[in-house]
C-alpha cells in the first residue's frame, strides 16, 4: 500500500528547506523583501501533494527505486502548482485557499499593491520549480529527456487558463459540456495527472506503451478531478474546502455543471440563471436558489456520473500495461484520492 502521509512529509521537507534557503537569499539581497519570502513560505505550506505523487509513481512504474532525487524532482511539481494557483487566484479574485488568504488578498490586507506583487510571486515560484527539478540529483541524461515535456506542460496549462478566461468573458456564448471539458483537459487534467506521470516515467526511461497508458489513465482522471473541483466550488462547505463556494457562481465560470444546468432549465429557470450567475454581488440566498436548481434539474447528479465513469476508465487503463505491482496499487489509490474528495 502507498503511504501517502509519509510521502507527503518528504515532499513537505523539500519545500520547507527551499523556503528556508530562499528566505535567507532574498533577505540577503534586501530586508524589504521579507513580505515576498513570507508569501513563498505560505504558498508552499499546505497541499495534498497529488502532482508530486503522480510524478514519483511515474518514475517507480518504470522499475526505478525510491530515492531522494526522485522526491526532489516530484516536489518541483508542487512549485508549478503553487505558481499556477497564485496566478489563478488573481484571475478569479479568489480570496481564500486552504482556509487562508490567497497571496494577492494577503498583500492587499497589508496595504500593498496586490495584483502586481502576487504576479511577481507566481513568476518566482515557477522559476523555483525549474531550479528544484534540475538540481534534484538525478543524472543529467535523465533530466535532459524531460526538456520537451516541461515546455509542453507549461504551454498546455497556459492554453487552458487562457481559454477559460476568454469563455468566461464572452457572455453571449453559452457554456457547453464539450468546451468545459476541453478547458479542464488543458488547465487541469494534463498538468495535474498526465504530464507529471509522463515526467516521472520519462526520467525513468519508460517505453512508449507505458507513456500511452499514462495518457489513457491521466486524461479521464484529470477531468474527473476538475469535475469534482467544480462541484466543490459550488456545493462545497467552505469550512472543509477552505475556499468560497460563491466565487464560481459570481464569476459565471463556464463549468460542465453550469452547462448541464442551462441545458436542462426551463425558460423561467434560464432567466433566473441569467440574472444570478455572473453577478459579482451574488449572496448566499441567491446562491442557494442556483444550487437547488442544479440539483432539481439533475445537473449535479449527471456530473457525479461523469466523474464515476472517468475514474473507471482511468483505472482500467492501468491493467493494459506492465508495471511493478506497488506502482499499480499506488496509482489505483491515487485515482480514488484525486477524484473522490471533500476538498
DSSP secondary structure letters along 107-122: HHHTTS-HHHHHHHHH
Region 170-180: what's the mean pLDDT?
77
Nine-digit cell string for 259: 452547462
Q: Is 243:96 a contact under the CB 8 Å cutoff? A: yes
How many domains, in total, are found in the chain? 1
Cβ neighbours of residue 103 closer than 8 Å, sequence gap 6 or more: 39, 42, 43, 86, 89, 117, 118, 121, 122
What CATH number corresponds to the domain at position 145?
1.10.600.10
pLDDT at 172 over 60: no
Say whether pLDDT at 312 is over 70.
yes
Query: Please, what sign has the CA dihedral across residues 16, 21, 24, 25?
Result: negative
Average pLDDT, the chain: 92
Please determine, for residue 1, whether its predicted confidence score (pLDDT) is greater than 50.
no
- pLDDT for 2: 59
What pLDDT is recorded for position 342? 61
Mean pLDDT of 62-71: 98
Helix (H) or strand (E) holding 100: strand 100-101
pLDDT at 234: 96
pLDDT digits (tens, 9 = 90+) for 100-149: 888 898 888 887 898 999 999 999 999 999 999 999 999 999 999 999 99
* pLDDT tens digits, one per residue of 259-294: 999 999 999 999 999 999 999 999 999 999 999 999
Predicted confidence (pLDDT) per residue in 237-249, tens digit: 988 888 889 999 9
**Residue 53, C-beta contacts closer than 8 angstroms, at least 6 positions apart:** 2, 4, 7, 74, 330, 334
CB atoms within 10 A of CB 80: 25
Residue (of 115, 113, 41, 54) closest to 82 by Cα position: 41
Domain of 159?
Answer: 4-339
pTM over 0.85: yes
Predicted local distance difference test score (pLDDT) of residue 194: 97
Residue 173 — pLDDT band, cuts 50, 70, 90? low
Amino acid at each position: 500500500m502507498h503511504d501517502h502521509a509519509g510521502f507527503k512529509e518528504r515532499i513537505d521537507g523539500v519545500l520547507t528547506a527551499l523556503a528556508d534557503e530562499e528566505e535567507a537569499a532574498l533577505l540577503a539581497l534586501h530586508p524589504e523583501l521579507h513580505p515576498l519570502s513570507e508569501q513563498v513560505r505560505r504558498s508552499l505550506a499546505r497541499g495534498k501533494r497529488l502532482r508530486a505523487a503522480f510524478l514519483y509513481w511515474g518514475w517507480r512504474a518504470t522499475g526505478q527505486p525510491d530515492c531522494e532525487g526522485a522526491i526532489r524532482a516530484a516536489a518541483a511539481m508542487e512549485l508549478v502548482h503553487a505558481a499556477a494557483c497564485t496566478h489563478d487566484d488573481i484571475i478569479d479574485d479568489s480570496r481564500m485557499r486552504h482556509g487562508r488568504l490567497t497571496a494577492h488578498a494577503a498583500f492587499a490586507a497589508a496595504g500593498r499593491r496586490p495584483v502586481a506583487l502576487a504576479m511577481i510571486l507566481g513568476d518566482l515560484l515557477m522559476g523555483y520549480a525549474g531550479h528544484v527539478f534540475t538540481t534534484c540529483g538525478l543524472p543529467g541524461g535523465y533530466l535532459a529527456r524531460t526538456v520537451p515535456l516541461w515546455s509542453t506542460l507549461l504551454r498546455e496549462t497556459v492554453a487552458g487558463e487562457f481559454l477559460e478566461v476568454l469563455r468566461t468573458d464572452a457572455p453571449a456564448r453559452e457554456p457547453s459540456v464539450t468546451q468545459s471539458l476541453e478547458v479542464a483537459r488543458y488547465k487541469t487534467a494534463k498538468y495535474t495527472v498526465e504530464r507529471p506521470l509522463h515526467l516521472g516515467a520519462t526520467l525513468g526511461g519508460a517505453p512508449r506503451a507505458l507513456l500511452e497508458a499514462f495518457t489513457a489513465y491521466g486524461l479521464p482522471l484529470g477531468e474527473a478531478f476538475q469535475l469534482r473541483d467544480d462541484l466543490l466550488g459550488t456545493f462545497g462547505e467552505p469550512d472543509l474546502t477552505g475556499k468560497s463556494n460563491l466565487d464560481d457562481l459570481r464569476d459565471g465560470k463556464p463549468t460542465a455543471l453550469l452547462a448541464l444546468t442551462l441545458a436542462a432549465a426551463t425558460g423561467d429557470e434560464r432567466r433566473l440563471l441569467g440574472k444570478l450567475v455572473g453577478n459579482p454581488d451574488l449572496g448566499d440566498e441567491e446562491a442557494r436558489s442556483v444550487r437547488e436548481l442544479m440539483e432539481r434539474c439533475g445537473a449535479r447528479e449527471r456530473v457525479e456520473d461523469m466523474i464515476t465513469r472517468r475514474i473507471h476508465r482511468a483505472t482500467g487503463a492501468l491493467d493494459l500495461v506492465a508495471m511493478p505491482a506497488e506502482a499499480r496499487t499506488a496509482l489505483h489509490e491515487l485515482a480514488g484520492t484525486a477524484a473522490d474528495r471533500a476538498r
